[in-house]
Amino acid sequence: MKSKPVWKIEVITTAAAQPALSQAIEGHCDALMAFEMTPGGPWQIQGLTMDEPDEAAIRSRLIEAARPLGLPAPQTAIERLPDVDWLARNRSAFPPIRAGRYFVYGSHYEGAVPPGAIGIRLDASLAFGSGEHATTRGCLLVIDRLARRGRRGMRRVLDLGCGSGILGLAAAKTWPVRVLAADIDRDSVRLAGDNARDNGVSPRWMRVQWSDGLRRLGRQRCDLVLANILAKPLRRLSRDLVRRVGRGATLVLSGLLVPQAGEVVAAYRYQGLKLTRRTIIDGWVTLTFRRG
């Protein structure tokens, strides 16, 4: 990252407004994080991008997101950062994360994977999915819950919008299943493949490929379908995505703010699926559906 400039987008807001404002600028960022500045105090949202940001568009999106909450335009700062390897610095600050049986850690971590846990080694990067975001943790907790129930006979898993590949890796390390992981971002596809190799998961068990939506992925039905994307594409893909869900299979959707869940639930109920669980973390919701 030293060879290319990096910009930082910083927003100060309230705990209640943080999910909506994070969603508002997510499309302008290559990496996004949010944290509480002081216990019970304001939240800081930080986004990093390697493309010069459209400051007017970002401020407009933030104002639009804040208005329904009755809030004024949030305090925002956009600046180009000094030429420092911010990705390496971010990795060194990435602590191990526990979500159910899954222990997600970076290459800098020198400790041991806790007894009984499934270790997933990932470095924080510009591809989404290091385990820190509430949507990723929500999906990992759902996979953990399915594993506790046994789910024998699990053979095929689809991880759509795989990012770093973390959810596909969790499935491949939990069951003897064949995982197809796909993403529209070619850098994510490359990284997910690298992460699979780093975690000892061979291409026989986890295949990673580029795809725009569900095209190029064939028509084979799966026992578990994971899609941690965003509300709008999830609604748009509902018909095609449900066609990949086998009878008695599970569909897990995430990348949604709580107020967005209703329309997504309606779209998938219309396609014949039954909502079995909502997992809510920090204003984000993960939806679990079952077919048949």
Q: How far is CA 183 from the centre of its chain?
A: 12
Name the architecture of domain 127-290.
3-Layer(aba) Sandwich (3.40)
Which amino acid, 114? P
Pairing mode, strands 206-210 and 178-183: parallel
Mean pLDDT, residues 69-82: 91
Report the Cα–Cα distance between both ends of the chain, in Å, rounded. Answer: 48
Within this chain, domains 7-88 and 127-290 share the same CATH topology:
no
98 membership: H or E segment, kind and range: strand 97-99
pLDDT above 90 as % of the chain: 62
The yes/no answer on whether domain 7-88 falls in CATH 3.30.70 is yes
| Domain locations in the chain as residue ranges | 7-88, 127-290
Total-model pTM: 0.72
pLDDT of residue 37: 81
- Rounded to 10 degrees, the C-alpha dihedral 57/60/62/64 comes to -140
Buried-state track 155-166, b at ≥16 Cβ within 10 A, e below 16:
ebbbbbbbbbbb
3-state secondary structure 154-171: CCEEEEECCCCCHHHHHH
Residue count of the chain, please give it. Answer: 292
Pairing mode, strands 102-105 and 97-99: antiparallel
pLDDT of residue 127: 45
Residue 225: pLDDT band with limits 50, 70, 90: very high
